[in-house]
Structure 1
Amino acid sequence: MDRTVDDLDLVARFLNTLDERTFTRHGQEHTAVDDLTSVEALTSWLRAHDLATAGAVLHPADLETALRLRTALRAALLDPDPGPRGGALAGFPVHLAPGPGSGLRLRADTGVPGLDVLLETVATAAATGRWARLKLCAAPECRWAFHDTSRSGAGRWCSMEICGNRHKTAAYRRRRTA
């Protein structure tokens, strides 16, 4: 993994393996695509982000786990109030485990070590309040995951130049015609 990449940026990259964007920009239509369509694709993604365990061989069940985790994380971003049953992430428990020295750390056990790293990152971010900085773009035709690094933490768009501008232009046009 590129060590200059923030941990929430890595989670956003995982979430964006499902690209739900369906809009036209500069005359080019963007269509939705899923990058995790096979065990090989998951293996490649984990390797590209230094999350693959040396010598580990992934199986179709691991791909299913990855897709369920991605879906659960996206659902958690859309509905931040999980309710008493834990919401979409209830199937992905995290436990306290002995850490370095005499400390404790959060530990996930998805069965796929690279996914454990992602889930532990999410749990740590939730515990420290940083999870609120990971968002899905407010544009319904986009839903690109992004790490909001704005000072106020009130970012709504993955890109102000694209989605934010499109939204503001549409609002302006609605006001002008009303």
Structure 2
Amino acid sequence: MSAGDVGLVVVEQFVNTLDERTFLRLGSLHRADDTLTSAEALASWFGEHDLPATAGPADLEQARALRAGLRAALLSEGAAADALAGFPVRLASDLERGLRLQAATGSSGLDALVETVAAAVADGRWKRLKLCASDDCHWAFYDTSRSGGGRWCSMEVCGNRHKTRAYRQRQAGRRPHTNWLTAPPTLEP
């Protein structure tokens, strides 16, 4: 993963602060969870990810709105444009770099996330950030496959469950298998 992708990994982790997974794994039900329950939790999350660690109640609402918009965009839902409309980005003059993308959410931590997303969209890395295709997962992941066609957050869990389910459906569509031990074949004369 290149140095430019590090910022997008933080965006992935931000999207995953809402854990919607509700599947059974090894007999245990995974419960959905939201990490961003308070302004203090948001400030703590910012600090853990080397972002400016200040956040108030308004920042929490903006963070949840941004996260919802990003999740909608990753699911390719039409509501994404509306959800992200409140997070405009503009070009700003920078003495060191000339021009740069600049967000103005009022929160330095959220600005960094919005600017990272905008840069990833501009350079094409955004298409590598995806939500798992499993309806009972939707965990965000960075697709590192060569073709960029990854669909599952984990082949060992979600990919395997999908492939096993598809196999069982195909098998159910075939004619029933006769168990020769319990029902011997009848021979026709």
TM-score where L is the length of structure 1: 0.90
Determine whether 1:26 maps to 2:26.
Answer: yes
Which residue is 1:176 aligned to?
171
| Structure 1 unaligned residues grouped into runs of 5+ | none
1:106-147 deviation line (CA, Å, top 9, x unaligned) = 000111101110110000000011110000000010000011
Query: Aligned ranges for residues 1-178 of structure 1 at < 5 Å?
Result: 6-53=6-53, 56=54, 58-79=55-76, 86-101=81-96, 103-178=98-173
Q: Report the CA distance shift for 1:151/1:44 in structure 2 as closer, same or farther (over 3 A).
A: same
Shift of 1:78: 1.1
TM-score by length of 2: 0.85
CA distance in 1, matches of 2:98, 2:79: 29
Higher gyration radius (CA): 2
Give the conservation status (yes or no) of the 8 Å contact 2:152–2:158: yes
Structure 2 unmatched ranges of 5 or more: 174-189
* Larger mean Cα displacement after TM superposition, 98-107 or 24-33: 98-107
Runs of 4+ in 1 over 2 A off after TM superposition: 80-83, 99-102
How far off its partner does 1:87 sit? 3.8
Partners in 2 of 1:102 and 1:14 — Cα distance?
Answer: 27
CA offset at residue 99 of structure 1? 2.2
Cα deviation for residue 101 of structure 1 reads: 3.2
- How many correspondences in the alignment? 171
Higher relative contact order (CA 8 A, sep 6+): 1
Within 1, Cα distance between the matches of 2:98 and 2:89? Answer: 16
Q: 8 Å contact 2:65–2:83 — kept in the other structure? A: no
Identity of aligned residues (%): 61
